[in-house]
Amino acid sequence: MIKPKVAFICVHNSCRSQIAEALGKLLASEVFESYSAGTVKTALNPDAVRLMRAKYQLDLTQSQTSKTLAALPAVDIVITMGCNVSCPALPCRYREDWGISDPTGKDDATFEAVIATIEAKVRQLARRITAGEFENDV
């Protein structure tokens, strides 16, 4: 089975989509390939970097950079993070929105809750792909 390519998309590609890409690589690399991008290149969110390092020992500054959609390969699945604006469009075979609020500027507890939600959704996505839910789409 060819692993599907999953792109986690958000406008700024600085926080939620970066967290999802990192957790996809950490927790589901045997099931799908993880990418992230946005329409605007910005610096990685320092709180996301700090909290991902503390919780998973992942240094996002060493493994990832902010990327635009043009930097992505052709992808099979697009997950938008819940931008509350017009989320970037990217050609794919299957798309869904996770509707996760941006924790930027919020306290650590809010950030940690967002990270936990993203982790649960990445694990669920891996289970869904493994179960063949997307076979007709990817």
pLDDT one digit per residue (tens) for the chain, 138 residues: 689 999 999 888 999 999 999 999 999 999 999 999 988 888 999 999 999 999 999 999 998 888 999 899 999 999 999 866 566 668 888 999 999 999 999 999 999 999 999 999 999 999 999 999 877 765
Residues pairing with 97 in the sheet: 80
In this prediction the pTM is 0.93
Residues pairing with 7 in the sheet: 35, 78
CA angle, 17 then 22 then 23, to 5°:
95
Length of the chain: 138
